């Protein structure tokens, strides 16, 4: 368990630097689209802290795949649950999505679809690489 938390914090800190960068891009785009000239200091500060924490947790939880005691499906489910709660809590806390059933349903559907899509891509790429390695071992390439 100690190794997991060490890896969690290492990955979290590596990922956290990108949070403010992403937020700056989002604020820039929103400012251009909605012609906003200024944002309150409190909103910017809360946004920076929130997105940094989100990135820290999202990066850190990938350490779950280093645990050799968990089956891959269990790791994927834990990863999905932590990311979902991380994003949902921060989005609601910052009023980035409305607090109603339709918005929560849309958020949940987009999250589930996006997570599944990314894992399908990872699976396909992994299978291709495994097949290439197996073919090399058999001398077919």
Regarding whether 85 and 123 lie in a shared domain, the answer is no
CB hemisphere CA count around 89 (13 angstroms): 10
Q: Record the pTM.
A: 0.77
Q: What is the pLDDT of residues 59-100, one digit of tens each?
A: 999 999 887 688 989 999 999 999 999 999 999 999 888 999
Q: What is the pLDDT of residues 13-53, one digit of tens each?
A: 888 887 778 778 877 887 788 777 777 888 888 888 898 99
Regarding whether 71 and 107 lie in a shared domain, the answer is no
Q: What total of structural domains would you count in the chain? A: 2
- 62: its two tokens: 């990938």
Q: Is 63 exposed, middle or buried (0-12, 13-18, 19+ CB in 10 A)?
A: buried
Q: What is the 3-state secondary structure (H, E, C) of 83-137?
A: HHHHHHHHHHHCCCCCCCHHHHHHHHHHHHHHHHHHHHHHHHHHHHHHHHHHHHH
Range of the domain at 132: 100-141
Regarding whether 104 and 77 lie in a shared domain, the answer is no
Regarding whether 91 and 107 lie in a shared domain, the answer is no
Regarding whether 118 and 87 lie in a shared domain, the answer is no
């Amino acid at each position: 368990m100690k190794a997991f938390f060490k890896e969690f914090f290492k990955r979290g800190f590596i990922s956290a630097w990108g949070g403010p960068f992403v937020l700056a891009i989002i604020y820039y785009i929103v400012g251009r689209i909605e012609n906003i000239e200024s944002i309150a200091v409190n909103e910017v500060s809360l946004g920076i802290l929130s997105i940094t924490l989100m990135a820290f947790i999202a990066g850190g939880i990938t350490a779950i795949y280093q645990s050799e005691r968990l089956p891959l499906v269990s790791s994927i489910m834990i990863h999905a649950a932590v990311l979902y709660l991380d994003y949902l809590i921060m989005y609601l806390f910052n009023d980035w999505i409305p607090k109603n059933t339709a918005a929560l349903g849309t958020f949940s559907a987009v999250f589930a679809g996006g997570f599944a899509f990314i894992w399908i891509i990872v699976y396909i790429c992994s299978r291709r690489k495994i097949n290439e390695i197996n073919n090399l071992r058999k001398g077919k390439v």
